[in-house]
Amino acid sequence: MDVRQQQERVAERYRRTAAEREEIRRRQEAAGTPVVVDDEDQLRARASRLLANGEVGASALSHALSDGHALRPTVLFERILGAASELQSVNFLARGERAARAVGRISILESGRLAGFGTGFLVGERLLLTNNHVLPDPDTATSSFVEFDLELDVDGVTKRADRYDLDPATLFVTHVDLDFSLVAVAQGDGGRRPGSVHGWHRLIANQGKIVIGEPVNVVGHPNGRAKEVAVRDNALLNQLPDYLHYRTDTEPGNSGSPVFNDQWEVVALHHAGVPGPDGQSWIANEGVRVSVLLTHLADTELPPAQRGVLTELGPQAVPSGAVPGEVDLAPAAVPSQRPRARRPVGSTPPTERRTPGLIGRPRGRRAVVFLHGRGQEGQDPVRLRATWAGGLARGLAAGGLAPLDAADVWFPFYGDALISALDVPERAGAPTAAETFAPTESSTRVVYAELIDQAAARAGMPLEERRTAQEGGLLGGLVEALQGPLSWLADRSGLDDLVIAAVLRDVAAYLDRDSVRTAVLDAVRACLPDDGELVLVSHSLGSVVAIDLLTQLPDRLDVPVLVTAGSPLGLDAVQKRLLAGGPVRPARVGSWLNAWAAADAVAIGCPLGDDWDQVRDVRTGNPKDRAHDIAEYLADPVVAGEIGRSVR
């Protein structure tokens, strides 16, 4: 089916739904808001997605709920959508620029001659999505090619395009009625896959990406020109079962463009416009819904090798209720038909997708990794990552730097693995904090006692008082004697004795018990890129895990920047039990910044420069009641700047 036939079908669907659009317009005018939703579940899904991704700030949300009255769920969800759409963060433009990098111009050749242009965009490391009327069959794809970076830079100078041939022999899936083609892209110069250079978009099967009345943005190559973006006076007009109708400026050549929401998530594949009465202008546009495309792919029977390639779409592309064994987008142990290639941010091998950690979106070869501390069991990694990113955004803003999108960050999650490996319930009703969190294993108790004693010494507890406590331990029990040093620490820090005891208990267990260390390191390794560069940001126990991890990473992973915050790495009891056997600076680390706060008892051994080589210690001004809070550490402009400048 050619583009003219597609336009005729689009125009007919648009005429057929005129009454629906008129009813939508009437409801918009009556409600005084562009957002119109018939289904509360859809509204709930949209609001929940905005909140979970950190798209609605705390201040904006507080303002939306400031009348102090209890709200019906529908009203609450509508206010959340309103708070998300009133003003855009300045990073809207930076995120749009990043999203546009994965969009390319397709040159269609027939008999060696240029026959036309289309647009396509990467949805996997080597998967390109476009229209069926752009690439209708494998033969057309074989003779065509795609170019990325075909655009003007900030000075209006044309960039050098990055060209790739298409590889339909590896994968080619198409559908005439839904007007899409998914094709593999061949490797470029030096064996590079296009996604490792330009990133890709993760197609999302779940609801919650957009509702009627919200803005849309389209990036493409109209009439084959340099890349352009349509962001003005654009909105979703109507939702059909398989298609979206929206208002935006497009031209021929934009066929195959991604249609984005304001969070730069793909909501549709643009495929045709609705011509106006004069036959010259366009009054609306139509795109195929992403969820419909993914459902079709899940129902498509493919050879095992092609099914393996399709897993690059990622687990978020699996429709709920999909039948395993047809096209399994997330699991599958299909042997690679080619040499094993790098897994950049956003792509994970099937065996690793069972990790509860979060995979960051593509950023090229350099990935940002947040490595959390103890006490996170049962928490939602999405919300934890958003908290870290929120603190970092404050610090970056204070330093005049653009924020880092939380979705770009890798977030290995070992909280549940740690607590499961510990298998030691706290002693409810124990008379002291030291006893509440005391380990049961005798060897771990010794480490626990060393940590508390050394921390108290670093906090200035007089030697005589510490000796008295030690003698009391010999006479009346080791753990009971630890409460004195523990109380000393609590009195001179911003943490209470229960928090300090809990942290040091988990540090002791990690250092002393191989089963605990292995469980934690396995969970972390399961959620890391295969190669490239890591900007590794770690907190509390996570900093100890990070130093051990750096002794085990493959040679193809480098760490140009290491940040530790609230770290116990200054204590001798920690250093001598590391896998390296002492304060040995990891050779693969470039710059190392260590952040510590005077009121943070966990970081009492800081500054680290006294024991570790080439560490830049930064003392932060964390409030006493949030002395160990990672968001406060990351909100420091110096700490944030070290991270922000490393990923620009």
Query: Alpha-carbon distance 483 to 478, whole Å?
Result: 10
- Please report, as a single letter, which amino acid is at residue 161: A
> What does the CA dihedral 575, 577, 578, 580 come to, rounded to 10 degrees?
90
**DSSP track, 377-417:** TT--HHHHHHHHHHHHHHHHHHTT-PPPPGGGEEB---HHH
Helix, strand counts (H, E) of the chain: 22, 20
Catalytic choice (107, 181, 255, 291): 255
Find, among 240, 208, 191, 451, the residue nearest to 340 by Cα. 191
Kindly tell me the burial class for residue 56, based on how many C-beta atoms sit within 10 Å of its own C-beta (0-12, 13-18, 19 or more).
Answer: buried
Question: Does the annotation count 530 as an active-site position?
Answer: no
Question: Does the annotation count 181 as an active-site position?
Answer: no
Question: Does the annotation count 539 as an active-site position?
Answer: no
Find, among 545, 523, 503, 544, the residue nearest to 417 by Cα. 523
| End-to-end C-alpha distance for the chain, whole angstroms | 44
The separation between CA 317 and the C-alpha centre of its own chain, rounded to angstroms, equals: 15
Residue 548's alpha-carbon distances to 376, 421, 552, in angstroms, are 20, 18, 7
> What does the CA dihedral 338, 342, 346, 347 come to, rounded to 10 degrees?
30
Query: Alpha-carbon distance 340 to 338, whole Å?
Result: 6
Neighbouring-strand partners of residue 220? 228
Residue 127: count of CB within 10 angstroms of its CB: 25
Catalytic choice (179, 262, 453, 512): 179
Query: Alpha-carbon distance 206 to 316, whole Å?
Result: 8
Find, among 550, 526, 551, the residue nearest to 413 by Cα. 526
Helix (H) or strand (E) holding 100: helix 91-101
Alpha helix (H) residue ranges in 104-220: 138-143, 194-198
Contact 372, 567 (CB under 8 A): no
Catalytic choice (85, 107, 133, 405): 133
Q: Please list the active-site residues.
A: 133, 179, 255
